[in-house]
Amino acid sequence: MTLIECRELTREYRKGGSVIRPLDGLDLDVDRGEFLSLMGPSGSGKTTLLNLIAGIDSPTSGRLLVDGTDLAALTRSRLAAWRSEHVGYVFQLYNLVPVLTAYENVELPLLLHPLSRRERHERVVSALGRVGLDDRDSHYPRQLSGGQEQRVAIARAIVTNPAILVADEPTGDLDKASAHAVMSLLQELNSELGKTIIMVTHDPATTAYSSRTLHLDKGRLAEANESREVPA
Amino acid sequence: MTLPRCLPYVLKQVTRHRVRSLLTVAGIAIAMFLFTVVQAMSEGVGEATSASANETTLVVYRKDRYCPATSQLPQDYQRRIESVEGVVSATPTKVVVSNCRTSLDVVTYRGVPKDAFLRDRGDALEIVAGSVADWQRRTDAALVGETLANRRALRPGMTFDAAGITVYVAGVFRSDDPQDQNVAFTSLEFVQLAGRDQLGIVTQFEVKVADASLLEDVAASIDETFATAQEPTATFTKQAFVGRIASDLIELVGFARWLGLGCLAAVLALVGNSILLSVQSRVSEHAVLQTLGFSGRLVTALIVAEGILLAIVGGAVGASAALAVAHIGSFALSVEGTSIPIIADPALLLTGLVVCGVIGVVAGLFPAWQASRREIAACFRTA
Ligand SMILES: Nc1ncnc2c1ncn2[C@@H]1O[C@H](COP(=O)(O)OP(=O)(O)O)[C@@H](O)[C@H]1O
Ligand SMILES: [Mg+2]
């Protein structure tokens, strides 16, 4: 079943007199429950695509349906509400709030939902447990290793229980062992919780954790390189 | 509501950026301290120079004189003043000040005929320590106004010395009249004898008039009575008299109000600067909040709330400190025997907080709006 549908998806930026087109008529379908890896040279539009799917950027033209919602038709504030329900974003550089503890960082997205303090507590504890950091809840980001920070960021992304996770080079700044921990975690979230994951990566080794790998080039899919594995 | 749930986040932003917040709050506190002091002085001017509707007192002074040292009138004018129609009584008063310059700590003696004084003014004075009987018994006794007593830590039974006159404190009183609050009442003769050739000479007469509506006519009649005398008079309502003697001071306080406005501008600049810097250093953090689903409006509200919090905490500290100093110090600006009290009115704290709240909103609004308008994706690119 298709969860994300991109048709002729185009994003242009105007810079001075010239127009940059990081996405140029891209067609893509992602099924519910897929774990998709996106590769491609730097500047090929990978981040731009993730941002459109995550609803923090809007297409210049084309269609983008996510779980039946036409994101281009939403107002800025509707789009914000949509994000809080449907997507979790994992950044390369974690982007935790430095003055908040791990617990408080994970709690942050829950503040938008009408939950009691107790309900929030249960969810935060369960999310931190899921990423294996229940004992680090009172640590500040600067007191955590990069791998731990990224796991806290993943906990923050899943605490509201969204259907989709997007991850932009989530292991790009990590050593091998930490990268493995993060990738195993993402795979687990995909197979056990059924999260649909779209991950940008530079490291071919990480694509082994995903169910499908696509290559982007100059704002389009490089069809020749597409390899589709049948999910087990 | 989402905003109340997010307020702990604002609090953490403020308390966990400790140095930045402390510096900002300290700056705001200093500015609000000054602002509140200016307000307290302005209130004092208002209280000292605006007449209540049922005021029935006139002050008769020597014409064209502006200080107690040069305003000399024969004591026997009393009978002639009292014979003017509409006058109930005239109290000859000799004023001596410890310091001819403007100061925060001037001691002002008012020598008065004790019996007449108690008859006319006794009811208006509330004795808070000591006794009136003691005052009547001793020639060197003084009844001391509460403000002066607090400032000099005077208690009944003590003696103190000012302007070369040593008096015994018989009692401390409270009065609604700010002029009374800052003086020591002694016997008229005692003060006259303390100076050379001063027997029979007074500074002024305090005249009770039968009805408030008669004030102007009676004042004119008194001045007419002495128009051709060797020592002509000038008669004013009590408040106009203070306004005339203390006009320089009042002008100064009026000017100080501009300083007060300057303080508010400083608070605006401080909060604005602090919020602007913090927003600029947190571009990606605010983009993260929006990525998590915080709306632009909510981000704006959180930033503005931070401005309000900083401003209000600074304002509370500064204004309370100013009121505490004014209260403990019991200061009054005195010149030539008249006083402008510095009033530690608790309502000034409320004024300060409201003003700071508004400034917090104004200072935070623009940076907050800017932060919420940025393209989210572009924020991560530059960060
Ligand atoms: N906000 C923007 N303004 C101007 N150019 C942009 C903007 N965002 C992306 N680009 C350009 O779009 C192109 C693709 O960017 P991106 O999607 O980040 O590539 P990738 O993630 O594949 O490296 C780059 O050339 C980048 O400079
Ligand atoms: Mg990128």
Can you read off the two tokens belonging to residue B242? 């203070």
Beta bridge partners, B370, equal none
- The whole-number pLDDT of residue B23 equals 96
* B289 shares a domain with B141: no
* B274 shares a domain with B210: no
- The whole-number pLDDT of residue A149 equals 97
Residues of A in contact with B17 (CB under 8 A): 99
Q: Which of B170, B198, B231 is the C-terminal boundary of a domain?
A: B231
* B215 shares a domain with B265: no
Could you tell me if residue B284 is inside a domain? yes
Please tell me which residue of chain A has the smallest CA distance to B18.
Answer: A99
* B142 shares a domain with B13: no
Of B13, B297, B376, the CB nearest to A56: B376
Residues of A in contact with B293 (CB under 8 A): 80-85, 109, 112, 160
Put simply, whether B375 touches A (Cβ < 8 Å) is yes
pLDDT, mean of residues B153-162:
92
By the CB criterion, residues less than 5 angstroms from ion ligand 2 are: A 47
Q: What is the DSSP letter of B103?
A: B
* B157 shares a domain with B224: yes
C-beta separation of B86 from B211 below 8 A: yes
Please answer yes or no on whether B292 and A156 come within 8 Å at the CB atom.
yes
Could you tell me if residue B178 is inside a domain? yes
Please answer yes or no on whether A85 and B375 come within 8 Å at the CB atom.
no
Residue B199 CA to residue B25 CA, distance in Å, equals 59
Secondary structure element (H or E) that encloses residue B318, with its range: helix B296-329
pLDDT, mean of residues B278-283:
93
Put simply, whether A48 touches B (Cβ < 8 Å) is yes
Residue B73 CA to residue B93 CA, distance in Å, equals 10
**Ligand 1 centroid from CA A106, angstroms:** 29
Nearest ligand to the C-alpha atom of residue B374:
1
- In percent, the amount of chain A with pLDDT more than 90 equals 92
CA distance A1 to chain B (A): 26
Q: What is the ipTM of this complex?
A: 0.94
Count of CA atoms in the C-beta half-sphere (13 A) of B55: 19
Could you tell me if residue B41 is inside a domain? yes
How confident is residue B120, by pLDDT bands cut at 50, 70 and 90?
confident
pLDDT tens by residue, B180-213: 888 999 999 999 998 877 889 999 999 999 998 8
Please tell me which residue of chain B has the smallest CA distance to A158.
Answer: B292
Does the pLDDT value for residue A226 go beyond 70?
no
pLDDT, mean of residues B353-368:
96
Q: What is the CATH number of domain A2-226?
A: 3.40.50.300
* B373 shares a domain with B256: yes
**Ligand 1 centroid from CA A76, angstroms:** 21
Chain mean position to CA B274: 32
Could you tell me if residue B53 is inside a domain? no
* B194 shares a domain with B98: yes
Please tell me which residue of chain A has the smallest CA distance to B376.
Answer: A56
Residue to mutate, B375, B379, B381, B382, ligand 1, most ligand atoms under 8 Å from C-beta: B381
- The whole-number pLDDT of residue B61 equals 95
Q: Which atom of ligand 1 is nearest to the CA of A49?
A: 17
Residues 6+ apart with CB under 8 A from B343: B40, B43, B44, B47, B326
C-beta separation of A97 from A139 below 8 A: no
The owner of tokens 């989709």 is A164
Residues 6+ apart with CB under 8 A from A131: A151, A152, A154, A155, A185
How do the domains of chain A map onto residue ranges? Answer: 2-226
Of A57, A80, A99, the CB nearest to B16: A99
pLDDT tens by residue, A26-70: 999 999 999 999 999 999 999 999 999 999 999 999 999 999 899
* B29 shares a domain with B74: no
Question: How many structural domains does chain B have?
Answer: 2
Mean pLDDT of chain A: 93
Residues of A in contact with B11 (CB under 8 A): none
Put simply, whether A11 touches B (Cβ < 8 Å) is no
pLDDT, mean of residues A87-104:
97
3-state SS record for chain A: CEEEEEEEEEEEEEECCEEEEEEEEEEEEEECCCEEEEECCCCCCHHHHHHHHCCCCCCCEEEEEECCEEHHHCCHHHHHHHHHHHEEEECCCCCCCCCCCHHHHHHHHHHHCCCCHHHHHHHHHHHHHHCCCHHHCCCCHHHCCHHHHHHHHHHHHHCCCCCEEEEECCCCCCCHHHHHHHHHHHHHHHHHHCCEEEEECCCHHHHHHCCEEEEEECCEECHHHCEECCCC
pLDDT tens by residue, B252-266: 889 999 999 999 999
Q: Which residues does ligand 1 sit against, CB inside 6 Å?
A: A 13, 15, 20, 22, 40, 42-48; B 378, 381
| A181 vs B341, more confident | A181
Could you tell me if residue B183 is inside a domain? yes
Nearest ligand to the C-alpha atom of residue A22:
1
Could you tell me if residue B237 is inside a domain? no
Nearest ligand to the C-alpha atom of residue A45:
1
- Can you give the residue range of the structural domain that contains B217? 64-231
* B285 shares a domain with B146: no
